[in-house]
Amino acid sequence: MSFSRTVYSALMWCARPLLLRKLRRRAVAEPGYGHAVEERFGHYGPAATAAAAAAAKGDAPAGPLVWIHAVSLGETRAAAILLNALRTQLPGMRLLLTHGTATGRAEGAKLLQPGDLQAWQPWDTPGAVGRFLEHFRPAMGVLMETEIWPNLVAGCRRRGIALVLANARLNEKSLAGARRWAWLARPAYAGLSAVWAQTEADAERLRAAGARVEGVFGNLKFDVVPDAAQLAQGRAWRDASPRPVVLLASSREGEEALWLDALQSTPESMANDGVQWLVVPRHPQRVAEVRQRIEAAGLTVSSRSGWAITPGVADVWLGDSLGEMALYYGLAHAALLGGSFAPLGGQNLIEAAACGCPVVAGPHTFNFAEAARLACEAGAALRVADMAEGVAAAQALVHDAAALAATRERALAFTQMHRGAAQATAAAVVQQLKGR
């Protein structure tokens, strides 16, 4: 082991108590963080051990065990798109799915089939990584989007396990960090068996970080197929709404305050200007806080969890459910893109476009820079300078029937135009397996 990785490993080992304290704190709001904590250190209970043993004995489909790591909710949804293509191109494959967040693990559980396995990502110490790899013995590993861990990469290389980075992206800020910590990051990027980037710009930055980029396949999220039942339900509620619906989609901390300030800045906005507002926070643990903030501003709230047949009558509808973004986008005539009005990089706008929901994006979309640029160029999205301008633009759009219909059509055409990453990535995974 190199001196730099020895130092890093010692720091990660010493940080374990901090991780445990963080998990205990987060488990108060999200109990999933308290589940199977020992897995994070490479220790597996009887159920996980029995499942792995059964898979190894052949009491499951006979294909290779493909490990996919999807740290959080967004990566898990991208992994689901890739997985659909993989199961077609690699019949009989078994899946090992790992995560770092409770929402990612809950969403990932929906993807499992008989013979599949699920666990937490191992903490990046040599011991935890070694126990993880020896326990599950995957045929290869697929890291989604940005997840690079030095000991995980080194452990796979030492055991001859191909480890790739799929749907890969790297923004300028992250590249600067990789350069600053080049003594650690560069060997990790260079140790990957292959990297498949979303865009040419991502590919250039990844190469600069030391990665071996073997393809630019586009963004897997363009291949998303919205849940048809959710979309139909949302559209039925939208059609029944007496007012056009504007969604603040996947809002992040601080953005609800910006939105309320924008509404309060003009009397007509505070009166909704004929608009029904729908707010869906990105993180479910913030729902109660967001509700309190909205009610403190003098607005009434109806939560999705209380809707029996139709949404309740209120100034603001609050999306407090998980895994129903297709319903919310179907319900909305237009959406403000969460994460883009504070310097957080923006959330995924592709799912909105696939649902035919026009998007108004703020100035901060560096996490999805290429997709946001292409969407704006295609007329599927609008770019504004701040939240106040975004609220005004969304209100104007939903009251202009011709402009709204045209933007909706362009949004659908935009996603169709950029499909294909899932099949290309799945084919590349199969080639990696054949080369082993």
DSSP-derived secondary structure letter, 385 = S
What are the backbone dihedrals phi and psi of residue 359, each rounded to the nearest 5 degrees, phi first? Answer: -120, 140
Are the C-beta atoms of 7 and 189 separated by less than 8 Å?
no
Burial of 242 (0-12, 13-18, 19+ CB in 10 A): exposed
Strand, helix or coil for residue 253: coil
Strand, helix or coil for residue 108: helix
> Going along 284-415, which residue ranges are E strands?
301-303, 316-318, 334-337, 359-361, 381-383
Sheet of 162-168, strands arranged across:
117-120, 94-99, 65-69, 140-144, 162-168, 194-197, 213-216
Please choose, from the candidates 114, 199, 188, the residue with its C-alpha nearest in 3D space to the C-alpha of residue 155.
188
Cα 179 from Cα 174, distance rounded (Å): 9
Annotation marks residue 75 as catalytic? yes
List of residues 6+ apart from 393 with CB closer than 8 A: 360, 382, 384
Are the C-beta atoms of 169 and 74 separated by less than 8 Å?
no
DSSP-derived secondary structure letter, 216 = E
Catalytic one of 30, 38, 39, 75: 75
What are the backbone dihedrals phi and psi of residue 86, each rounded to the nearest 5 degrees, phi first? Answer: -65, -45
Are the C-beta atoms of 370 and 432 separated by less than 8 Å?
no
What are the backbone dihedrals phi and psi of residue 96, each rounded to the nearest 5 degrees, phi first? Answer: -110, 115
Cα 44 from Cα 149, distance rounded (Å): 21
Burial of 271 (0-12, 13-18, 19+ CB in 10 A): exposed
Cα 200 from Cα 208, distance rounded (Å): 12
Which residues have a catalytic role annotated?
75
